Amino acid sequence: MQVILIATQKGGAGKSTLAAHFGALAAREGRAILVDADPQGSLSFWHRQRAAETPLLVKADAAAIPDTLDRARREHADWVVIDSPPHNAPLISALMSRASLTLIPVRPGPFDLDAVGATLAMARSLDARIACLINAAPPMTRSNRPTSIVAETRTVLTELGAPVLPGQVSQRASLSHALISGQSVTEYDPGSRAADEVGAMWSAVVESLRPAAQARRTRR
């Protein structure tokens, strides 16, 4: 079972949006469970609008998370995607220790880059596996190159020693339109640039987990 935690100690990074889109993609690959651990409940709102029966969703507070993950494992879930609350360092720390991978969404700009340091420090203290993801970015240029602010953000994150997934998820209206209807953008507008970016980012997440899964099988 792969547990993907989407976490940052700064609000407004787009955690819930990513959790919804990634959860729908995970459900295509196996039994997937979304865990809404954010009191704001944005992920739960999306799920209530959703017509499809998958992924399943569980609303869980800090005390319920361990039991939720244990139950997911007993029920042979393949994927668990957790939307965590910002500004709750103890809970984020506890979740990081249980996650296969912690995704840290970063919007291009000084405020997000300033805030990411605390999340990176926490991950390092726990020896947690992490990857940064450039989210809500300006769309690429006509020559299909990232804008200067995105390139600068990637450089700063690399200099901080943070692994950064390739590509970006751009700020596009179709991402929000999909959420209103309880869909992922790959369902709402397949073939769009937004769907391509989200799909490519999910593929990068899956690929980043593959070496760890292979290592576990080797140890067995």
The reply to whether 94 falls in a domain is yes
Structurally, the chain folds into a number of domains equal to: 1
The answer to whether 106 and 113 have CB atoms below 8 angstroms apart is: yes
The boundaries of the domain holding residue 155 are 2-214
The reply to whether 83 falls in a domain is yes
More confident residue, 11 or 166: 166
The reply to whether 220 falls in a domain is no
The reply to whether 88 falls in a domain is yes
What's the pLDDT score for residue 211? Answer: 65
Encoding tokens for residue 170?
A: 């751009």
Alpha carbons 194 and 139: distance in angstroms, whole number: 10
The reply to whether 48 falls in a domain is yes
Strand, coil or helix: 13: coil
The reply to whether 20 falls in a domain is yes
User: What average pLDDT does the structure give for the chain?
Assistant: 90
pLDDT at 24 over 80: yes
Q: pLDDT tens digits for 173-214?
A: 999 999 999 999 999 999 999 999 999 999 999 999 986 554
What's the pLDDT score for residue 184? Answer: 96
pLDDT at 217 over 50: no
Mean pLDDT over residues 133-157, rounded? 90
For 30-69, the DSSP string reads S-EEEEE--TT-HHHHHHHH--S--SEEEE--GGGHHHHH
What's the pLDDT score for residue 64? Answer: 87
Neighbours of 13 (CB within 10 A): 25
What are the E-state strand segments in the chain?
A: 2-6, 32-36, 56-59, 79-83, 101-106, 130-137, 169-170
> What CATH number does the domain containing 150 carry?
3.40.50.300
What's the pLDDT score for residue 216? Answer: 45
More confident residue, 177 or 10: 177
The reply to whether 219 falls in a domain is no
Amino acid residing at 72: A
Q: pLDDT tens digits for 65-114?
A: 889 999 999 999 999 999 998 877 888 888 898 999 999 999 998 888 88
The reply to whether 24 falls in a domain is yes
